[in-house]
Amino acid sequence: MNPGAVEEGAKVASGVVEALRAQPIALALIVMNVIFVGAVGAGAYGLNIRTTARYEAQDRLIHKLLDQCVGSKSSLHTLDGDAHESSHQ
């Protein structure tokens, strides 16, 4: 009779454990790689948060400046606004 998936998985797991017992440096490398990947992920997440906040602040400043420019232009050009709009159509 063929062994099931659980029995085969248990054999593989016990083989991996025995191999890691024979080579403790391999276990240390696996642990260090997991820690490294976690640290890089956390750093990238923090960098993403700071970068997003910076661009949002720049966008708010640009929109504020554009609103000021558009607001001042519309108040300066109210006399010739009809002629200016008809030239763009």
Taking the domains of the chain in order of start, what are their residue ranges?
A: 8-77
Predicted confidence (pLDDT) at residue 88 exceeds the cutoff of 80: no
- The answer to which of 18-22, 38-42, 44-48 has the lowest mean pLDDT is 18-22
pTM beyond 0.95: the answer is no
C-beta of residue 84 within 8 angstroms of C-beta of residue 77: yes
Closest CA to 2 of 11, 88, 19: 11
Token couple for 31: 């642990």
